[in-house]
Chain A
Amino acid sequence: MRREQRSLAIRRIGGSPAFVAGAAIFLLLAALALFAPWLTSYGPYDMKVTERLNAPSGTHLLGTDEFGRDLLTRLMYGARVSIGVGLVVALLSSLLGLLIGVYAAYYKTLDHVLMRICDGLVAIPGILLAIALMAALGASALNVVIALTIVFTPNIARVVRSSALIVKEQTYIEAMRAQGAGDLRIIWRHIVPNTLSPLLVQASFVFAEAIISEAALSFLGAGVPAPEPSWGNILQASKLVIYKAWWMVVFPGAIIVLSVLSLNLLGDGLRDWLDPRVKGKRT
């Protein structure tokens, strides 16, 4: 029965064009990042002064930047930083958000404290909070991860809390408690698994948001510092040469849009898949 359910589930999500397209594009981008050293013969820091700001051509598919570095190579290595930052932020804020959300839902006193802190953090506009944190911590990829995790955790905590609250009120949890099950067991064996699907959907959106935020921070000069390539700081450089080199704007821009779009499609697909109302319709 379980295997049947599983294959049905896989078939159903496989039948969602949004999810499949999102996953395919995203895997492609991830593969470009992962296999960069084997896919390009240039290094991300190889400068060639004579080839500064060359338009796209056979030798440099996407052209070169203001130092004569191959743009495609920089974008592929930049993907490691940008997707990497996004992934780590999504994972960390999911983990923290899960802990905060579940424990806040379970213990009332903790709820007041934790949720007021989350309310306060959410009230500060995300990008400004990130900028302020980066100003204090200093520009580096690690600090971008720290700043963005602080920004996104409260959102996830709220989502997890609201679904944990629903589970907590179910009769079977009451029955478990009456049978003498401990808090830890109830929380981790019964509440946590039931919050995972909304968490997963939310995490995919945070992933996309984190990629955008990293790009914005680096673009503003408060994120990943040059010369380490990230999509944001490549764009930052492009602003200065916008009159001469359209490719410096168009390609990094397109790759950011593509990654965000693919993650959004993935998230939408996941949500449709996990939403019981949609499930009812399709099975």
Chain B
Amino acid sequence: MLAYVAKRLLSLVPVLFVVTIVLFLIIHVTPGGPAASILGLEASGEEIAELNQELGLDRPIALQYVSWVGKVLRGDLGNSIFMNQSVAQAIREHAGPTLSLAIIAQFIAIALAIPFGIWAAYKRGTAADFTLMGISLLGMAVPGFLLGLFLMLLFGVHLQWLPVAGYKELSAGFWEHVKHLILPGLSLGTIQAALITRMTRSSMLDVLNLNYIKTARSKGLRESGVLLKHAFRNAFLPILTVLGQTFGTLVTGAVVVESIFNIPGLGQLILNSIARRDYSVIQGVVLVATLLYVGINLIIDLLYGAVDPRVRLDRK
């Protein structure tokens, strides 16, 4: 197992190297260079040169990269030009709402998807199965931000059941907090729910055809026991992978959904930074989100290895 962990960790090195190169270079593809972009059209050559010096952009590019990565490794993501605070601080302040939203969306996705998936597999080939699969196909075709607008229109504007937009801290009370995140959570979680439903169904179908399920049934076990205790446990591994992958997508998908519902998370931070040309913040947020995404996938992979010994034997 240790060798597997080490190998998996090592494989991340080139990935992270490329990620840092790409994110580092993004700043440098701005037309006219970042300093000119930040200062705007009316800036004089002197002002641009001054800012370049201040930002360290006048040094050779390789040197800039090395010093940037060195700082990142120490947790220093640079400073926001506009907000007068460090990027790390800004990210910490905005991470809470994004994380809350992602967790609620994941909860919604699992709560919908796993029962539906099991049901569709159990009722395979019937109208119930076709309906569920049809809905999930539609769920995958509706992007989160669009669903968000639809939900906002229906439940916020017309029915007025839930707040149209906004965000309340957890300190304002659990229900207040959750209430503001239900619509965003639904808009974010539906695509994941659709994916997980399909995955659950197909992975249940694989298992339901196996002989030990027939044995369980012929022993006279109740159908619910066969489905949940015998079949689902073995069908869970592929579902676990999808869960991990979708949680990563949730964190990043949150960025778009936040902007619809005015949630002051990382998404809003990055969008405001685009308007202010605050490049170090954009770089920082994307880097942190990527690390989170890569980290979650790593954990899932390791879990997979821990749960299913075949995985780590295969890859040795």
Interface positions of A (Cβ within 8 A of B): 116-117, 119-121, 123-129, 131-138, 208, 212, 215-216, 219-222, 235, 238-239, 242-243, 246, 249-250, 253, 256-257, 260-261, 264
Contact with A along B20-31 (1 / 0, CB 8 A): 011100110111
B110 near A: Cβ within 8 Å? no
Contact with A along B247-283 (1 / 0, CB 8 A): 0110011011001100000000011011101010011
Contact A116 B255 (CB under 8 A): no
Which of B41-49, B111-119, B143-151, B223-231 lies at the interface with chain A?
B143-151
Contact A123 B289 (CB under 8 A): no
User: Which 5 residue pairs spanning A and B have beta carbons closest together?
Assistant: A120-B18, A125-B252, A261-B141, A135-B274, A116-B14
Interface positions of B (Cβ within 8 A of A): 14-19, 21-23, 26-27, 29-31, 137-138, 140-143, 145-146, 149-150, 152-153, 157, 164, 248-249, 252-253, 255-256, 259-260, 270-271, 273-275, 277, 279, 282-283, 285-286, 289-290, 293-294
Closest Cβ of chain A to B218, distance in Å, is 30
Contact B252 A257 (CB under 8 A): no
Find the B residue at minimum CB distance from A215. Answer: B143
- B290 neighbours in A (Cβ, 8 Å): 123-125, 128
- A238 neighbours in B (Cβ, 8 Å): 149
Report Cα–Cα, A136/B23, bound state, in Å: 11
Report Cα–Cα, A123/B143, bound state, in Å: 21
Known A120-B19, A123-B19, A264-B141: A132·B286 in contact at CB below 8 Å: yes
Could you count the A-B residue pairs with CB atoms below 8 Å apart for me: how many are there? 137
Report Cα–Cα, A216/B274, bound state, in Å: 15
Contact A129 B286 (CB under 8 A): yes
Known A222-B271, A242-B152: A124·B19 in contact at CB below 8 Å: yes
Closest Cβ of chain B to A26, distance in Å, is 13
- B293 neighbours in A (Cβ, 8 Å): 123, 125
- B270 neighbours in A (Cβ, 8 Å): 128, 131
- B249 neighbours in A (Cβ, 8 Å): 125
- B164 neighbours in A (Cβ, 8 Å): 242
Give the dominant DSSP class at A's interface: helix
Report Cα–Cα, A123/B249, bound state, in Å: 11
- B273 neighbours in A (Cβ, 8 Å): 135
Closest Cβ of chain A to B249, distance in Å, is 7
Contact A264 B137 (CB under 8 A): yes
Besides A124-B290, A242-B153, A242-B157, 20 other A-B contacts (C-beta < 8 A)? A123-B16, A123-B19, A126-B252, A127-B252, A127-B255, A128-B255, A131-B282, A131-B286, A132-B286, A135-B277, A136-B26, A136-B29, A136-B279, A137-B29, A219-B256, A219-B259, A222-B271, A246-B153, A246-B157, A256-B146
Report Cα–Cα, A123/B14, bound state, in Å: 11
Contact B143 A128 (CB under 8 A): no
Q: Can you show 19 pairs from A to B with CB atoms below 8 A apart?
A: A116-B14, A119-B15, A120-B19, A123-B15, A123-B16, A127-B255, A128-B270, A128-B286, A131-B282, A135-B26, A215-B143, A215-B146, A216-B256, A220-B271, A221-B274, A242-B149, A253-B150, A257-B142, A264-B140
Report Cα–Cα, A253/B141, bound state, in Å: 11
Contact A120 B141 (CB under 8 A): no
Report Cα–Cα, A211/B152, bound state, in Å: 22
Contact A123 B146 (CB under 8 A): no
